[in-house]
């Protein structure tokens, strides 16, 4: 009888140990986190342009890749747009302002654990490449998120770049309440970034770096 009881206890301990190894927090470190991705521009708003290439398409493609990687780590993810359109109201006289207002409303009303707005940079000097993170002071967590993300991106891209505060004249970001940041994940003016972002491998690698940063933030 004592042996039987001992075996039951032993099996129970083993089952508890196995269960601990396969907890969502271990296998899916972003399990339970709700994230909104905001691919900038769309529709009549192309964003930055290089010859015949439009930022809006890069933003959408990269957002789809990042969404998949975040979901692989257990996060629940939605995107503010999933196709080539903006979020302006059909009858809006000021499309850009309407687009901003609807993005702000969508993020604020859905109350994500975190949002990421995704854009590309553009400069006349084509030597600049890579990613930079921007934050607004509206939420006290934003600076920390930006810091963690920039360090991870710098390490991957071999950069020494600072994250920066979003200027006060930017309409959208100072009105978004949940924590989050703007990532300018590449330069459309850089042949290096354009070539890299057209490859699935690079998009996935860059997306994983962002995921690792978010895992660190939420840990």
- Residue spans of the domains in the chain: they are 24-218
Inter-residue contact 47 to 91 (CB < 8 Å): no
Architecture of domain 24-218: 3-Layer(aba) Sandwich (3.40)
Q: What is the pTM of this model?
A: 0.88
User: What is the tens place of the pLDDT at every residue in 6-42?
Assistant: 444 444 434 445 444 445 556 899 999 999 999 999 9
Strands of the sheet containing 180-187, edge to edge, are 76-79, 34-39, 114-121, 180-187, 132-135, 164-165
What is residue 205's predicted lDDT score, i.e. its pLDDT? 98
What is residue 7's predicted lDDT score, i.e. its pLDDT? 44
């Amino acid at each position: 009888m004592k042996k039987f009881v001992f075996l039951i206890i032993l099996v129970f301990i083993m089952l508890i140990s196995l269960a601990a190894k396969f907890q969502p927090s271990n296998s899916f470190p972003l399990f339970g986190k709700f994230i909104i991705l905001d691919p900038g521009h769309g529709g009549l708003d192309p964003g930055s342009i290089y010859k015949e290439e439009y930022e809006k398409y890069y933003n959408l493609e990269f957002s789809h890749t990042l969404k998949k990687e975040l979901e692989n780590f257990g996060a629940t993810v939605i995107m503010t747009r999933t196709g080539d359109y903006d979020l302006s109201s059909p009858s809006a006289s000021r499309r850009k302002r309407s687009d901003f207002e609807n993005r702000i409303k969508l993020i604020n009303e859905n109350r994500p654990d975190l949002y990421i707005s995704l854009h590309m940079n553009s400069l006349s000097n084509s030597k600049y490449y890579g990613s930079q993170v921007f934050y607004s002071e509206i939420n006290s967590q934003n600076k920390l998120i930006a810091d963690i993300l920039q360090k991870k991106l710098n390490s991957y891209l071999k950069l020494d770049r600072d994250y920066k505060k979003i200027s006060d004249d930017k309409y959208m970001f100072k009105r978004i309440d949940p924590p989050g940041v703007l990532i300018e994940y590449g330069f459309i003016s850089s042949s290096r970034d354009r070539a890299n972002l057209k490859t699935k491998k690079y998009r996935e690698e860059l997306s994983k770096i962002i995921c690792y940063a978010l895992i660190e933030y939420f840990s």
